[in-house]
């Protein structure tokens, strides 16, 4: 079965700094990949998704992710962090009707 | 278009009781998935329904069950509640179950078992 590993359960950056959240996946077939964000006491909101159309995927709120098959990675980046980006981020891999989530990375943004 | 709605938002139950949670998907979505989220275990997949059929099931005991109605609304039931069932239960809907369609999540039902 497919799986996702998110490296780093907590990431802290300064406001205005680069955000890099790491995600590696495992799948025996070409996967669909997603990044979701969860704010406190809310459900998950889709940031972006990869469905094989383009390796560099742009999402909402200035986030983007690059699919690298050779590295089985789908890291999430944002050039300049904003205080409102503080949240928990989940990477997910989907095959057919089975979506698996990573453990999540909590992003803290320092002023 | 209205989003995914879940009722109730908060629930307190005692051990041994049973509980039913409800989820109304986005109009037109036929796939509904349920997840349990806890600080220790993260997001764990419970089951997925598509057109009233359970297509996939996670590794949870039989006390956890669900169903989907003809209008795609879904319910999940937990019988004989245990303290460890305290969690945020999330429902997500999708256009279909092909995997390429993103899931849209509801705000969740926070269940506390005392």
Q: How does pLDDT run across A66-87, given as a tens digit for each residue?
A: 999 999 999 999 999 999 999 9
B7-14 mean pLDDT: 97
* Interface touch A96/B98, C-beta < 8 Å: yes
Contact criterion met (CB below 8 Å) for A65 and A75: yes
Query: How many angstroms away from the CA of B44 is the closest CA of chain A?
Result: 8
Q: How confident is the model at residue B97 (pLDDT cuts 50, 70, 90)?
A: low
Contact criterion met (CB below 8 Å) for A21 and A105: yes
Phi/psi of residue B101, nearest 5 degrees = -90, 135
* Interface touch A104/B56, C-beta < 8 Å: no
Pairs of residues, one from chain A and one from chain B, whose beta carbons lie less than 8 Å apart: 56
Q: Quick one: closest CA in A to B97, which residue?
A: A97
Judging by DSSP bridges, how do beta strands B109-113 and B10-13 pair with one another? parallel
Phi/psi of residue B93, nearest 5 degrees = -120, 155
Mean per-residue pLDDT of chain B? 93
What pLDDT is attached to residue A30? Answer: 82
pLDDT in tens, A38-66: 998 889 999 999 987 788 999 999 999 99
């Amino acid at each position: 079965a497919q799986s996702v590993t998110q490296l780093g359960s907590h990431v802290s950056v300064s406001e205005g700094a680069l955000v890099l959240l790491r995600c590696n996946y495992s799948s025996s077939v070409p996967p669909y990949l997603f990044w979701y964000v969860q704010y406190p006491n809310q459900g998950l909101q889709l940031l972006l998704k990869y469905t094989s159309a383009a390796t560099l995927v742009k999402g909402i709120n200035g986030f983007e992710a690059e699919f690298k098959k050779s590295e089985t990675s789908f890291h999430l980046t944002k050039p300049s962090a904003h205080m409102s980006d503080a949240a928990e981020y989940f990477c997910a891999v989907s095959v057919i009707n089975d979506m698996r989530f990573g453990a999540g990375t909590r992003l803290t943004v320092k002023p | 278009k209205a989003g995914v709605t879940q009722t109730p938002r908060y629930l307190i139950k005692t051990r041994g009781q049973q509980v039913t949670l409800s989820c109304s998907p986005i109009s037109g979505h036929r796939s509904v998935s349920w997840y349990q989220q806890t600080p220790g275990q993260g997001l764990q997949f419970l089951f997925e329904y598509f057109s009233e059929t359970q297509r996939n099931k996670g590794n949870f005991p039989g006390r956890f069950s669900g169903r989907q109605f003809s209008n795609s609304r879904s319910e999940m039931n937990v019988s004989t509640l245990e303290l460890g069932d305290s969690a945020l239960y999330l429902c997500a809907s999708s256009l279909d179950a092909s995997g390429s369609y993103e899931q849209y999540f509801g705000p969740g039902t926070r269940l506390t078992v005392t």
